[in-house]
Structure 1
């Protein structure tokens, strides 16, 4: 019988005493090695293009040459970018804190003085975005994702009707976790839609702006320019980083927005620092050199991780294709794959995988409050393991899915 065979396969899997981890979207050691030269820079010359000694205080907004280097990728004019430390999540955290404790540009009061603050959350989405809002008591309102981005009919309806809704989380290119890139229509509607809150903010986390897996990079519409054209110049906060470009623990982050928002952000930032690590900024300029150098560097990343995404697709297709037990995304970039099993099965699949030594991101992490009402979505992070380990892990995941399916009479 099918269930007996599935149980035998699973017991064989458990007997291998595996210890494999697919939980987080981390670069592999081979990817980090691509940026080893960064640690030997800037050599004996610490002088920036404008003559600044980067070892000293100052330069709160960041080196102009680094802002120019990433301006095209992030779709933000250099003068409207701020360079920070290694974590864009920290910049998002600070942006929320500044809105809570200070009046946002165009706002009427501090967010902390509002009766209620809520964010729209496209799902499936990024668990750290959700956790950040939860930390500050910001209500999370899920909206479904579509192949073109968030369901804009629902987004527009909610944002126009409720002044307590102050923002929306967006990963617009190769989104986490399903790899969707927003259509031009979606971006235009986000930029121009009426909102009940005058200080509504789009938190535009362009984390995978240059993380392509194919030779035909996806391009998205310029949300900052479209918002300005629509009369909403202060609506968008753009975030980015080099965490998955150079060294995850020693990169740089970016905040971009309107001139008014940049001045607002710098006003708060200046109370906590006299300037970020300009020596590290100079390292990045000399290592990446220019936009062409950035593209070439990311091509090397793609060569390392593309085979892993292809392996996931191949193995899942071979072991689960046509069974009706699973579906999965095939992204053109980014770091994740969305894996969906029949409703009510995700938690059990993750539990069985853990018992077999395969660690997965918790079921539900892709939804606000860790609650996937359908209990069907699992995030796969294929970049960190070695290819042979990844293949074993994905084959083992398929075994777990077949067992859960057999136990529940599915497939």
Structure 2
């Protein structure tokens, strides 16, 4: 990645970087790019939710949403999101506010009850492992750590996880029970899985008969360009390949409407849906159907979701454009960094020279710019190359974001040139 420099040229660049960093540290900044939270302006787009359902308490099918029951969730809301998430309405559940909660519960149920196709509960087996494409989502990794599930890193490519590695690992090791996937505008590098990757995931031979793909389609509707990316239908591909129970599909409205007060979804085969409902019936008498009704009323239909997400894009797009513009102006041609230019989602991945990410994050924090910890994009918080930094542009205002990215670039130049100077 680095560019060869003469000693004099390197010394000059290093001195300039040190001066720029002193100026940065003296500005008294307090900026935070740690999490991909919607900005207040994005949340304001759903303000109408707070006044709904405005006296109405009956769903389209006559359900009184104020009462118990209805573990499947409201049909009218499931109809809106069935196409978005590529799940038939009859195989899609609408639940509480958090898809992460659904992933947590799916793991717990797999540990404590027998999955369709399984020979025993996971908790009764000596070793359980999950494949973790890297860079990846830190909360997926935290769930594995929480339950003592071994994590096996798998390299990411421009088309998704390296399928040669995935196919080898799942075929030879019966302890490998699952793989984490963010298939569309993935967290954090924005990769979208190719049709071939989806087909190979669906059809591959697995040593574990109860292998599951945890398909976290968190950014299914979160486009940033005029040409939305579409991915292949995993559930249909699994059914066609003779593995109908292989996929668990997750999604939510957390970054569509009100973060923390949205609706989460689970989709899978009829057998898996029946399995999850039976287990959930022991922990809940039904989801928040009042909230589901207000979402159905607010979004109205799939076209309503698309229109709403265009409004979101109008707010997010300029921020992602600013990140790309500043990184190119400050780091382009230096050989000190590479970064992604995602077509959707919530993150930009910045790659710095090996051995520099932690120090860049530390220097940025000392200058008042807080970033996601280096290593968070890898299992156990360990990036072997110490090279990956996740940027979350969504929450700050545009001016604050520009200041943060300019400051981050200063830190990259300082640490990178210090490393070259030895």
- TM-score normalised by the shorter chain: which range applies? over 0.9
Residues 1-10 or 11-20, more deviating: 1-10
Shift of 1:310: 0.2
Q: 1:120·1:142 contact (CA, 8 Å) conserved in 2?
A: yes
Shift of 1:4: 1.8
SS at match of 1:369: helix
* In 2, Cα distance between equivalents of 1:402 and 1:299: 36
> Aligned residue for 1:42?
53
Q: Deviations over 1:32-81 (max 9, x none)?
A: 00000001001111110011110011111100111110000000001101
Shift of 1:321: 0.1
Shift of 1:407: 1.0
Correspondence for 1:64 among 66, 75, 85: 75
Shift of 1:314: 0.1
How does 1:1-400 map onto structure 2 within 5 Å?
A: 1-400=12-411
> Aligned residue for 2:8?
none
Q: 1:25·1:384 contact (CA, 8 Å) conserved in 2?
A: yes
Residue ranges of structure 1 left out of the alignment (5+ in a row) = none
* In 1, Cα distance between equivalents of 2:94 and 2:119: 28
Q: Deviations over 1:174-229 (max 9, x none)?
A: 00000000000000000000000000000000000000001111000000000001
SS at match of 1:166: strand
Structure 1 ranges of 4+ moved more than 4 A = none
Residue ranges of structure 2 left out of the alignment (5+ in a row) = 1-11
Shift of 1:256: 0.5
Q: 1:85·1:252 contact (CA, 8 Å) conserved in 2?
A: yes
> Aligned residue for 2:413?
402
SS at match of 1:319: helix
**Count of residues in Structure 1 that have an aligned counterpart in Structure 2:** 411
* In 2, Cα distance between equivalents of 1:316 and 1:121: 28
* In 2, Cα distance between equivalents of 1:58 and 1:410: 66
SS at match of 1:203: strand
* In 1, Cα distance between equivalents of 2:18 and 2:242: 61
> Aligned residue for 2:5?
none
Residues 67-76 or 399-408, more deviating: 399-408
* In 1, Cα distance between equivalents of 2:294 and 2:359: 46
TM-score (norm 1): 0.99
Shift of 1:410: 6.5
Shift of 1:382: 0.2
* In 1, Cα distance between equivalents of 2:421 and 2:185: 31
Shift of 1:2: 2.2
* In 1, Cα distance between equivalents of 2:13 and 2:197: 45
Shift of 1:84: 1.0
* In 2, Cα distance between equivalents of 1:272 and 1:152: 37
* In 2, Cα distance between equivalents of 1:81 and 1:33: 28
Q: 1:213·1:333 contact (CA, 8 Å) conserved in 2?
A: yes
* In 2, Cα distance between equivalents of 1:3 and 1:60: 61
Q: 1:325·1:410 contact (CA, 8 Å) conserved in 2?
A: no
SS at match of 2:155: strand
Change (3 A) 1:318 1:410: farther
Q: Deviations over 1:263-313 (max 9, x none)?
A: 000000000111000000000000000011000000000000000000000
The alignment yields a C-alpha RMSD, in angstroms, of 0.8
TM-score (norm 2): 0.97
Q: Deviations over 1:313-364 (max 9, x none)?
A: 0000000000000000000000000000000000000000000000000000
SS at match of 2:177: strand
